[in-house]
Structure 1
Amino acid sequence: MDLGNKTDVPIISFSATNPSLIPRTLNFVQTAQSDANQVQAIASIVKACQWSQVVIIYEDTEFGNGIMPYLFNALQDVNVRVSYRSVFPKSASDDFISKELLKMMTMQTRVFVVHVTQSLGTRLFLKAREVGMMSGGYAWIATSDLTDSFNLMDSNAVGAMQGVLGVKPLISKSEKLQYFTDRLIRTFLLANQDVRPSKASIFGLWAYDTLWALAMAAERVGNSALYSTRNEVNLDSNSGDCFALKPSEMGPKILEELLKTSFQGLSGEFNLVNKQREQTQYQIVNFVERDEKQVGIWMPSKGISKELNSNIATCYSISKENFKSIIWPGDSNERPRGWEVPLSGKKLRIGVPQKPGFNEFLKVEDDHVTNATKVSGYFKEVFESVMDALPYAIPYEYIKYPFFNANGSSAGDYDDLVYKVSLQENYDAALGDITITSKRSVYVDFTLPFAEGGITSMVLVKYEYVHDIFTFLQPLTKELWLATATFYISTALAIWVLGNRIITSSRDSPGQHAGMFGYFPFFPGGGIDGNLLCLVLVTWAFVANLLNSTYTASLSSRLTAQRLLPTFTDVTTLIKRREYVGCQEGSFLKDFLIKLKFDENNIRTYNSSEDCYEALERGSKDGGISAYYDVLPHIKMLVSQSCGQYKVAGPTYRTDGFAFAFPKGSPVVADISRAIIQLTEKGSILETEERLFSNVSCSGQDGTSSPNSITLRSFVVFFAITGFVTVTCLLVSLVTYLSKNQAFLQRMSDLNANVLWRIDALCKYFRESNPPSLPKTANSRDQIPRS
């Protein structure tokens, strides 16, 4: 490259695929496909198969190292983690290969991306088959260099690579390519009759197209330019270096024309973009016997599809459904899940916190007979339900993590347990009331939360009698009071109308009638007669007595009820008064309270709910606390167990809830999170919670709210009945009256008087038990009797 730069002559390579070569020199032209293109295809395969991590195997040469930064970036873009990098020397011994493969067998990851040359790749797969890594559950992906060499391998190496996936640039079939291949095979057989012929490699096709492109560029430059440069390379007589070279005048012209060259070659469209071969599609093949079975096509714009001209994906698509059927290692049709519990017979070690108190959700005990760890509680049942919901079985066992030593001193906390999971020395995962925090997420990966999050406080309640001068109005709502008054007045009016003619005192003065109007609904008088009047009175009496009884009961309840008020509701008040607050020992809550500006000396920790209750009863002045802070599920449990003695108070601070913790990059996290979602959607987790905690709450205890006011809706039916009866009786009375006094009404209609006077005359006539008769003729208003 230095020589090309010095002489200004283009350097053309049809075999170099390292993406980092282009930036090094201005005159370098890469007519082979850059490895920066195939890494996108490899990343798409890994993502489509839903693998979360891979192991990369490559040789320690410029060929092997050059692609690595691009491969890492491509995998990172699809959220795939490289769990291990295995670097092989180009001349690695069989013993080195075996030891490295056995080391990888002890890891969880079962997906391997191999980027080595043919010579090293052949020995690698032979050893992999020997140690048992070409069986079911493993997945291997070979890069283009090794894939293109598959048809050159012997039968032993081909047998070792069964089920491997490979990627290589797609070479479209054409008559020109077929003619060239047939001619190449015939020529090869003439010289090597005892050797099985093979197809032309992709590098051979790139070389053929490159020579054609260079010839076409030189032809356009012209012969004159060639002759003008015949003396460019000569000795500089003034220089001490006899090999000093002058810059070429023809080199830039050749480079310029070469970059303009475009034609349909044997390997496809020849077109250079930024001095590189234009990005093309990649073929995804599956090694089955001696064949390279095409199972998919990767296209830069569409992703993976089954066929080149497939119209299924109109946008970029990465899905396992876009593959044809694949035969995986071990002659398996089932896609490997990408990870396994390493070493046969080993169980997943689940760390569970052992502590003396706060065991309502998870209880860890020692079985002294079997010397085993007994685990019970809500968290354990949820975890086992999730593991049962996985599409595969994972053996696991519970390993206790004690928070306290035998002498009572602290042995660790939740943060320590999470950190030990990250080390994977004694624990492979952890379950319990482990809240997702940013600090813990640095060391482990959390599943999706299976329980609600949040931090709040509970305080002791004080009892207070509710007394108000308007308490007597509170049993009924405003609407019910208004409806009662309305029906009272309307019923009184109806009773007065119906009983006016038959009550003995009906001839009293108007003032006396007005007084009687007010108490008619309750005391209608002694000489009551008439079925209609009785029916209205009976209906109203029923509704009035029912309303009176309900009102009396509600008022009595209000006068004797106590209201439960929290002793503290404001965090600021607790901080200003320097009140003591408590939290669970070993949790992250102490650090949280310090961030809320509580003095560290005013924070007390407790190991059990009994100690917490006792501290709240004593209060800050007597060596206790004024408020206890904990995560929301714990607070709800403690409040429900207290039967009204404590109450949730203050704001609820949001957290991400409880989750299971696994080491960074653990492939099981995604599957467990999906299982949690499925169980949550089906309601299984909620059913488990209700089954375990349904007997905790205190039945019949509700001192936290006053009796509700009685609404109009409760009496709307009764008001409708009394209204209907009253209106019906009035209509019947009116119809009866009109039918008996038709003559009087006829003479009224003949009078020459206004409407108001007629109504007044009618009312006076209706009030009379024996009304005087009207004159037969009424030519003037003076002839009408007046009261």
Structure 2
Amino acid sequence: MKYLKQNYHQFSTIFFFFFFVFLLLGVHDHIKVIAQNTADNEKFKVGVVLDGLNGSYGSVWLTSMNIALSDFYASPNTSHNRRLVFHVRDSKEDILEASSAAIDLIKNVEVQAIIGPTTSAEAVYMVHLGNKSQVPIISFSATSPSISLSQNPYFIRTTPRDSSQVNTIAAIIKTFGWRQAVPIYEDTEYGNGVIPYLVDALQNINTRVPYRSVFPSSATDDLIVKELYKLKTMQTRVFILHLDNSALAYRIFAKAKMTGMMSKGYSWILTDGLGDYISSFNSSFIDIMQGVIGVRPYVPKSKELSSLRVRWKKRFSKENPDSERKLDVFGLWAYDTIWALASAVEKLEKLNPEFINGKVDLNSSDVARLGVSQIGPELLREISNIKMEGVSGKFDLVERQLQFNNYEILNVVGSGAREIGIWTPSDGIIKDISLAGTSKTMYHKDNLRPVTWPGDTTIIPKGWEIPTEEKKLRVGIPVKDGFTEFVKITRNSSSDSPYVTGYCIDVFKAAVEMLDYTVLYEFVPYENKEGKAAGSYNELVDQVNLQNFDVVVGDVTITANRSQFVDFTLPYAEGGMQMVVLAKPDASKDTLIFVRPLELKLWLTIAAFFVIIGGVVWILEHRVNREFRGGPHPAYQLFTMLSFSFSVLVFAQKERVLSSFSRVIMGLWLVVVLIITQSYTANLTSMLTIRRLEPTYTDVRELIKYQHTVGYQKGSFVYGKLKEMGFDDANLKVYNSPEEFDELFSLGEGKGGIVASFEELPYIELLTARFCEKYMTVGDIVQNDGLAFVFPKGSPLGPDISRKILSIREDGKNKRIKQAWFGSKTTCPDKNSLGSSSSLKIESFYVLFAITGGVIVFVMSLFSAHFLWQTRKIWLYSNDTVWIKAVNLFKNFFDENTTHLITYFEPPPIMDNAIDAGNEQNNVVDD
């Protein structure tokens, strides 16, 4: 033990020596194995052409590609028979440098595929080289849709096109109800490529693009400031920034902040060209972007993605210690692109690296001498068929284009950006991907998390405002010679500006006053040097489209043709066109006027009651009153009954009633007859006194057939309608005012006048209020949308005015304004009531007839009961058959027998005769 302790250091030295020798031998053997495997693998040359390999974004992507290559060949699920070998070139952000690098790689290195280039502008030239040499050009960063895949069969885009994000941007704009937006972009292949798609998407949601702001790549600060001030003087406050040049974006935002365009009321939206890099921007950049909304492709979270981020950060920091860049989504697509390419190479049947040489000509260019790859078509096919789950999500190429649907919506707040929502094609905007398939509304602000807008406010910008630096809104108004109740211009010698009044003007002022914000405006007559109308109403509306007027206020009718170029508010006056003709006395029905005071039902009811009353009185009187018995024939009895009944009408009945029951009924009936006759007389007098009116013409076809002359108002759309109906210009006359309208009718057709006019309903209201029953409308109303105010297409002010017009119409203010200018219709007699004084209806006499009928039923019930009591010996005590009893009762009813009735009902002077008649009848019964 003591020996071992003394020689401990010697033993340790010997042990570590042999351990080190064995370790070196093992490493050497391992290196030999690796070298042998590499030698055994078939090499597949891949060119890599990227910008910014000096620690910039190119280095970010190259690190991802190298990690992807290591991960692929380290995976137990992949073959190791072939191995990708990168040949990297830095294109130095130069198009010619990128093309030269591609030529060198294809011609000299004979690569079988090229990863890159970085930008769309570089890709435009490089894809031609790929087409010629059949070498697939695979780009994960050239996003411009201007590069056609159909025209470039060897171009593969493993990144979404820029156009795939436009629906997300449109959804954001629609969610917040913005009606205008201005795109700001760089004048490059990347910048210009997406704009047509963006404009189409905005037009699909009725959002107008009034202006496009284009910056050259070399834009100076002075140019940026000048353009921003120009934007500031416009109404639009929604800007869509589409750039991939972060340096230019920084300067634009810095100058926007300086000019006050990053304050309350403004909204900025970034496309994914900048949205992808927000996490890489420094603090000063983030500080001037506060409140900006951005979009970028949504990448689902996964363990593989988390692992890649950790390994990438470690490796990138080691390779680029001075760079602070972060892994972006393009780095993820670069990673997936290498996996897809490596997988496709493993599926090739045979790896043939040979090229068929191009033309050998000393005078030919390098492009002409490019060879043609033998495995290009097969490689292209295998790559296109690759489907896998990558770190960026589902990797699926459709027609050589990566399909990517979901987008993340970001809001720059504080020190970075936070997710406020996600857009999917099926759900629209949702707060979280877990809510996919549950959204009921695709465009609602509640589907987003709270947004902080520029100016550190949570109040949603309305998207536009009247700039304080701009002059007042120019409100064009028509110059009218007549119908000044709609628009009236008064000249004031002491002032250059005209004084404008009228129904249309008051409605517009009322709507503007109800707005939640201040709108300054000035009325500008549409006139020539002589102060007359400068053109027709169609030309006046065109002035809005030509931007000579901001608004047109007046009696402008909404038409389909006009609405193609401008926007109309909701109508403030009802629409429609109708024919107006003279009203003349109606004598066609005077021959039967005596029957019209009472309606037919009432006539029939009165006649029925006359017969009923006659019959009831006859029943009550014929046994006790010889005046009601008439002759022996039944016809005499009927005649007596009817003559008595109808003679009551003129109080000329000669028969005297004796029964108290009869007297009750007759007294009530005389009152009813008196009321009916007085009502009849009064209504007949009214009909004879008041003049009846009817139209002079009723059929438009008659006017056209016989070429009658008709009129229309100057400048009205009615002229076009009349031409469509078939009227000739020779048969059309124009008028400017209600006075001319009346004069043309007064002249008549023979003296250069008209027989009819076609006019819009608002003007008809004015004419009928002024001329009362002189004119009347006939025929069906030709519908249109009415009178409205005119705004430019997509104007954000138009919808607000429309909502206020709706409020004005609902609360009755519009009606009050109209009455103030047109006058109330109650001041004119109603032509309809003049033309047909209404007949008295049976409903007016229901109570009288009901009382009369009730009394009749009551009296007849008492009479029947008394009669049966008197004749009880016949039907109660007799042993005769039922038939004989009935016959005896019938004979007793018709025979004169007043013994009991007269004693009970009549006074003493007539009693003796009644008793004699009764005794005589009783003797007959006793027998």
Normalising by structure 2, report the TM-score: 0.77
Equivalence for 2:625: 503
CA displacement, residues 227-274 of structure 1 (integer Å, 9 cap, x when unaligned): xx24x1376898878985554343333333323333332222222222
Are residues 1:70 and 2:197 paired? yes
Q: How does 1:199-348 map to 2 (within 5 A)?
A: 199-221=326-348, 225-226=350-351, 229-230=352-353, 232-233=354-355, 244=369, 246-311=371-436, 313-314=438-439, 317-344=442-469, 346-348=471-473
Equivalence for 1:49: 176
Are residues 1:544 and 2:673 paired? yes
Maintained 8 Å contact 1:492/1:518? yes
Between 1:750-759 and 1:635-644, the stretch displaced more is: 750-759
Between 1:494-503 and 1:345-354, the stretch displaced more is: 345-354
Task: Give the counterpart of 2:546 among 419, 423, 430.
Answer: 423
**Helix, strand or coil for the counterpart of 1:431?**
strand
Maintained 8 Å contact 1:58/1:86? yes
Maintained 8 Å contact 1:301/1:315? no
CA displacement, residues 675-694 of structure 1 (integer Å, 9 cap, x when unaligned): 33444455543454356555
Equivalence for 1:779: none
Task: Count residues in correspondence.
Answer: 771
Closer, same or farther: CA 238–590 of 1 in aligned 2, 3 Å: closer
Closer, same or farther: CA 19–627 of 1 in aligned 2, 3 Å: same
Shift of 1:543: 0.9
Closer, same or farther: CA 641–313 of 1 in aligned 2, 3 Å: farther
Task: Give the counterpart of 1:641 among 740, 748, 770.
Answer: 770
CA distance in 2, matches of 1:253, 1:449: 65
Maintained 8 Å contact 2:690/2:834? no
Equivalence for 1:131: 259
Shift of 1:491: 0.9
Are residues 1:710 and 2:835 paired? no
Shift of 1:437: 3.0
Equivalence for 1:376: 501
Between 1:234-243 and 1:416-425, the stretch displaced more is: 234-243
**Helix, strand or coil for the counterpart of 2:787?**
coil
Maintained 8 Å contact 2:187/2:216? yes
Maintained 8 Å contact 1:502/1:528? no
Are residues 1:353 and 2:478 paired? yes
Equivalence for 2:278: 150
Maintained 8 Å contact 1:61/1:90? yes
For 1:259, the aligned partner's letter is: S
Between 1:620-629 and 1:242-251, the stretch displaced more is: 242-251
Between 1:298-307 and 1:737-746, the stretch displaced more is: 737-746
Are residues 1:742 and 2:742 paired? no
CA displacement, residues 187-235 of structure 1 (integer Å, 9 cap, x when unaligned): 444566676x44311111111221122222223337xx33xx24x1376
CA distance in 2, matches of 1:642, 1:730: 60
For 1:758, the aligned partner's letter is: N
Maintained 8 Å contact 2:576/2:785? yes
Maintained 8 Å contact 1:297/1:304? yes
**Helix, strand or coil for the counterpart of 1:604?**
strand
Shift of 1:137: 1.6
Task: Give the counterpart of 1:18 among 118, 122, 144.
Answer: 144
For 1:275, the aligned partner's letter is: R
Equivalence for 1:562: 691
CA distance in 2, matches of 1:700, 1:314: 59
Equivalence for 1:484: 606
CA displacement, residues 679-726 of structure 1 (integer Å, 9 cap, x when unaligned): 445554345435655534434454641222222222222111111101
CA distance in 2, matches of 1:514, 1:308: 97
CA displacement, residues 69-97 of structure 1 (integer Å, 9 cap, x when unaligned): 32222222222222112221111111221
Equivalence for 2:710: 581
With a CA cutoff of 8 Å and minimum separation of 6, indicate the structure with the bigger relative contact order: 1
Shift of 1:616: 1.4
Equivalence for 2:746: 617
Between 1:642-651 and 1:238-247, the stretch displaced more is: 238-247
**Helix, strand or coil for the counterpart of 1:297?**
strand
Between 1:14-23 and 1:312-321, the stretch displaced more is: 312-321
Maintained 8 Å contact 1:466/1:561? no
Between 1:650-659 and 1:144-153, the stretch displaced more is: 650-659
CA displacement, residues 522-574 of structure 1 (integer Å, 9 cap, x when unaligned): 26656533432221011111111111122222333334443212223333443
CA distance in 2, matches of 1:162, 1:525: 109
For 2:239, the aligned partner's letter is: F
Are residues 1:4 and 2:130 paired? yes
Shift of 1:361: 2.9
Equivalence for 2:295: 167
Determine what percentage of the aligned residue pairs are the same residue: 38
**Helix, strand or coil for the counterpart of 1:659?**
strand
Maintained 8 Å contact 2:479/2:525? yes
Give the number of the structure whose alpha-carbon radius of gyration is greater: 2
Closer, same or farther: CA 310–775 of 1 in aligned 2, 3 Å: same
Shift of 1:284: 0.6
**Helix, strand or coil for the counterpart of 1:716?**
helix
Task: Give the counterpart of 2:640 among 496, 516, 532.
Answer: 516
CA distance in 2, matches of 1:477, 1:546: 16
Maintained 8 Å contact 1:32/1:276? yes
Closer, same or farther: CA 749–371 of 1 in aligned 2, 3 Å: farther
Equivalence for 1:400: 525
Closer, same or farther: CA 758–112 of 1 in aligned 2, 3 Å: same
For 2:603, the aligned partner's letter is: W
Maintained 8 Å contact 1:364/1:373? yes
Shift of 1:370: 5.3
Shift of 1:286: 0.8
Between 1:611-620 and 1:670-679, the stretch displaced more is: 670-679
CA distance in 2, matches of 1:541, 1:107: 86
Closer, same or farther: CA 335–347 of 1 in aligned 2, 3 Å: same
Shift of 1:295: 1.1
Equivalence for 2:9: none
For 2:388, the aligned partner's letter is: F
Closer, same or farther: CA 457–98 of 1 in aligned 2, 3 Å: same
**Helix, strand or coil for the counterpart of 2:773?**
coil
For 1:743, the aligned partner's letter is: K
CA distance in 1, matches of 2:660, 2:187: 113
Maintained 8 Å contact 2:478/2:525? yes
Closer, same or farther: CA 252–508 of 1 in aligned 2, 3 Å: closer
For 2:251, the aligned partner's letter is: R
Maintained 8 Å contact 1:301/1:316? no
Closer, same or farther: CA 767–179 of 1 in aligned 2, 3 Å: same
**Helix, strand or coil for the counterpart of 1:750?**
coil
**More helix by proportion, 1 or 2?**
2
For 1:3, the aligned partner's letter is: L
Are residues 1:181 and 2:309 paired? yes
Between 1:500-509 and 1:725-734, the stretch displaced more is: 500-509
CA distance in 1, matches of 2:921, 2:724: 97
Shift of 1:54: 1.5
Are residues 1:674 and 2:803 paired? yes
CA displacement, residues 329-353 of structure 1 (integer Å, 9 cap, x when unaligned): 1112122222222343632222223
Shift of 1:775: 9.4
Equivalence for 1:453: 575
Maintained 8 Å contact 1:454/1:631? yes
Equivalence for 2:101: none
Shift of 1:649: 3.3
Between 1:344-353 and 1:102-111, the stretch displaced more is: 344-353
CA distance in 2, matches of 1:19, 1:483: 86
* Residue segments in structure 2 that go unaligned for 5+ positions in a row: 1-126, 899-913
Equivalence for 2:110: none
CA distance in 2, matches of 1:727, 1:550: 26
Equivalence for 2:70: none
Closer, same or farther: CA 582–235 of 1 in aligned 2, 3 Å: closer
Equivalence for 2:851: 721
Closer, same or farther: CA 721–610 of 1 in aligned 2, 3 Å: same
CA distance in 1, matches of 2:151, 2:835: 79
Maintained 8 Å contact 1:461/1:565? yes
**Helix, strand or coil for the counterpart of 2:130?**
helix
